[in-house]
Amino acid sequence: MATSTSAPGVGGPQGAPAGPAKERPGRDRANPRRAWRTLLHRFDIKAAPYAFIAPFFVVFAAFSFYPLLYTGWLSLHDVELATMDIMEWEGFGNYTELWRDERFWNALTNTFTIGVISTVPQLLMALGLAHLLNYTLRGSAFFRVAALTPYATSIGAAALVFTMLFERDFGMINWFLGLFGFDNIDWESGKWPAQFAISTIVIWRWTGYNALLYLAAMQAIPRERYEAAAIDGASRWQQFTKVTIPGIRSTIVFTIVLSTIGATQLFGEPLIFGQGPNGVSGGADNQYQTLGLLLYEEGWKNYEMGRAATVAWAMFALLILVFVLQRLVKRLTSRTS
């Protein structure tokens, strides 16, 4: 008796031997309660996984996927912030206008240059830092937590502090450079100084985080590979380039993808660095306006939601382009090596 009641629990018909399985329909009719339980159990096995993943997909569909598509639809219309229910069909008018708009190309190049200035040194430094953290260290917990602390700092707070450190007249960085005889640099109004300063904020916040990702990957490299390299007479540098780097290659790709996404989205740092009035336009001459800022300016300062949506889709297209290129490069390099 005990075995027959638990039989449905084992995993339905396929779990039970052939004999009882044939008998079951008859018995089930005799015992509707158990039939109900079997049915319930089968339903549970089939439906529960979907029920468990449903919340993620429902929220994602409602608040990310549907808006994403709707952004595309909006970008074909003229919609104003004050009268959002009135949509006027524009076709690709927003796109041709954007194509001719100097500010778009300016924001695009700024996003790209700030992206490069912030990502490349950040990842290189993270690599070096991870290598250092990979030594047997006293106080390694301290160094790791210290490296990660900037990651816990809000964009707002980080940008405010750095704005002050980069201040022209009394900022600490100009004071420090002054010790070596440099003149004060106007970090905000020059194009390259401003982009450099903004990149510094990004680098400061994310280097430690990336370093920990690299460190984790480095620690997963089998020790034998280093030993083999050492036997072959590889120097430390050679071990680093020939064993460590290939060993953490997938993590490097992962961080490049993450940083690229982060760089296309850059918004808070330049906004706050511009200290309010200059923030949204990215400086008086748009010298550090990113695509994110342009999107915000179009939508919430110029009240043109349709055009903001167009900028958003341009960003989307850009991201896809970057990934296709990355794929291509990857395929080409893997073929040659």
Partner 1 sequence: MTTDTARPGAEALEPLTGVAPPRSRLRNRRPRRPLLRPGAGRQHKAGPVAYALLAVAAFLSLFPLYWTMVAASTDNTRVSQTPPPFLPGPNLLKNLSAAWEDAAMGKALTNSFIVATTIALSTVLFATLAGFAFAKLRFRGRNILLMLVIGTMMVPPQLSVVPLFMMMTELGWGQKLPAVIFPTLVSAVGVFFMRQYLSEALPDELVEAGRVDGAHSLRIFWSVVLPVARPAMAVLFMITFVHAWNDFFWPFIVLDMTNPTIPVALTQLSSGYIRDQSLIMAGALLGTLPLLVMFVVFGRQIVGGIMQGAVKG
Residues 266-305 that bind partner 1 (CB under 8 A): 267-268, 271-272, 275-277, 279, 291-292, 295-296, 299-300, 305
Tokens of 3: 């075995």
- In the list 144, 168, 191, 242, the residue contacting partner 1 (rule: CB under 8 A) is 144
The only residue of 156, 182, 189, 249 in contact with partner 1, by rule CB under 8 A: 156
Beta strands at 77-78 and 88-89: parallel, antiparallel or unpaired: antiparallel
- Report the alpha-carbon distance of residue 79 to residue 64 in Å, rounded: 20
- b/e code 302-331 from CB counts within 10 Å (16+ = b): eebbbbbbbbbbbbeebeeebeeeeeeeee
Please identify, using beta-carbon distances, which residue of 176 and 192 lies nearer to partner 1.
176
Among 221, 256, 285, 303, binds partner 1 (CB under 8 A): 221
Of 234, 242, 256, 285, the residue at the interface with partner 1 (CB under 8 A) is 234
Whether the Cβ atoms of residue 211 and residue 131 lie closer than 8 Å to each other: no
- What phi and psi values does residue 186 have, to the nearest 5 degrees? -85, 95
* Residue 16 found at the interface with partner 1 (CB under 8 A): no
* Near partner 1 by CB under 8 A: residue from 196, 206, 209, 288: 209
Q: Nearer to partner 1 by C-beta: 129 or 198?
A: 129
Query: Hey, what amino acid is at 143?
Result: F
Separation CA 65–CA 146 (nearest Å): 37
Q: What are the two backbone dihedrals, phi and then psi, of residue 58, each rounded to the nearest 5 degrees?
A: -65, -50
**Angle (deg, nearest 10), helices 140-152 and 191-219:** 140
Cα three-residue angle 38-44-46, rounded to 5 degrees: 105
Site string for partner 1, 87-116 (x = CB under 8 A): ------------------------------
Residues 272, 163: contact at Cβ < 8 Å? yes
Smallest separation (angstroms) from partner 1 to the CB of 116:
18
Q: List the interface residues with partner 1, window 59-88 (CB under 8 A).
A: 59-60, 63-68, 70-71, 74, 84
Of 78, 256, 316, 326, which lies in the binding site for partner 1, with binding defined by CB under 8 A?
316
Beta carbon nearer to partner 1, 283 or 299: 299
Q: Is 226 in the site for partner 1 (CB under 8 A)?
A: yes
- Closest contact distance (angstroms) between CB of 201 and partner 1 is 9
State the residue for tokens 């009035």: 277
Query: Which residue in this structure is represented by tokens 């306006």?
Result: 289
- Of 224 and 337, CB closest to partner 1: 224
- Amino acid at site 209: Y
Site for partner 1, residues 40 to 59, rule: CB under 8 A:
40-41, 44-46, 48-50, 52-53, 55-57, 59
Left if phi > 0, otherwise alpha if psi is -120 to 50, otherwise beta: which for 101?
beta
Measured from the CB atom, the residue of 231 and 337 that comes closer to partner 1 is: 231
Does 259 bind partner 1 (CB under 8 A)? Our answer is no
Tell me which stretch binds partner 1 (CB under 8 A): 25-33, 91-99, 109-117, 310-318: 310-318
Q: What angle do CA 239, 245, 248 make, to 5 degrees?
A: 130
Smallest separation (angstroms) from partner 1 to the CB of 152: 4
Q: Select from 21, 35, 120, 165 the one that contacts partner 1 (CB under 8 A).
A: 165
197 binds partner 1 per the rule CB under 8 A: no
Is-contact 274 282, C-beta < 8 A? yes
DSSP 277: T
